[in-house]
Amino acid sequence: MHGATTRRGALSALLATALAAVLLAAAPAGAKQPEDVVLNVGHRGASGYAPEHTFAAYDLALRMGADYIEQDLQMTRDGVLVVLHDETLDRTARPTAESGPGDCTGLVREKTLAQIKTCDVGSWFNEAYPQYARPEYVGLKIPTLEEVFQRYRKSVNYYIETKSPEAAPGMEEELLRLMDEYGLRRPAAERWQVLIQSFSPASLQKVHALDPSLPLIQLFSGTETSETIQARLDATAAYAVGIGPSKDDVDAALVGAAHARCLDVHPYTVNESAEMEGLIATGVDGMFTNFPDRLDAVLGESAIDGRKRAAALAERANDACRGEEERGRRASNGT
């Protein structure tokens, strides 16, 4: 097991039991039931301890018990997918002796890969978080998605976001091409080795049209509420297997409504242990965190032993829900 501590305190356990009983009683046939699978997603890696979207952050997240590592995608001017959260380089990139004027500022999509590869994306972290600073973070580079796949192959689970896809035509096709090249499309479909997320319904619907077997997660911004998200769940369920709301929008009503449509719930970004315990008690199926070790400690003995097993169990539970839902639909139609 990842950790040796208990999953939650006695009060949280009582709350979880009571909530589960309510959801079980109210859920329609085929609804997703609360499962003992809570996925630990390293948000940009272990980005609370190391520079986000670097191999240092990814390696650390995996050591700390993350079931998934997250990649935010941007596309360079020459059509290469790189892993960076922001549309611009300004927040995390610093020029080096190799950089030309302007190479490490401005929009990623206006730079070539060669320009971006001159930038240092570790030094900013040492400046911002001196308590976690390490000399080896200086000079870290922005990885391409292909480099991430080359490093980890099929040994890890990937949680990939198409960022600003409307400004990067062809992003979805290039993502699927790389998944094909590294043999990840089939395990994504069969055991959720790759989850694809986006705030853009159009981007996810495009991926769904290209390959309906791939598991997709619809993100919702923090400007939404539980009620506005619930109003969009029927449309979302037509192409996605889950939702990614802000942690502040998650309540029992949203979790119940999502599960009734066989949608998993993976809120972001959850960094405090008390918040993690509360969301687990509410019935979420996973969460994004900058501190995977904290979630691992909260889950304790209930943490799934093995990343691939955790993803496969989550897929199996979702698939079982959808199968039951289909059987219920056929029964109601008399077929």
Catalytic site residue from 43, 53, 208, 266: 43
Q: Indicate the helix (H) or strand (E) that contains 82.
A: strand 81-83
Cross-strand partners of 120: 94
Q: Indicate the helix (H) or strand (E) that contains 202.
A: helix 201-210
What residue type is 299 in one-letter code? L
Write the DSSP string, 11-63: HHHHHHHHHHHHHHHHPPTTPPPP-S--EEEETTTTTTTS-TTSHHHHHHHHH
User: Residue 170: which region, alpha, beta or left (left: phi > 0; alpha: psi -120 to 50)?
Assistant: left
To the query of whether residue 43 is one of the catalytic residues in this protein, the response is: yes
Catalytic site residue from 85, 208, 259, 266: 85
Q: Which residues contact 118 (CB under 8 A, 6 or more apart)?
A: 95, 96, 98, 99, 100, 103, 104
| Gyration radius (Cα) of the chain, Å | 20
| Catalytic center residues | 43, 85
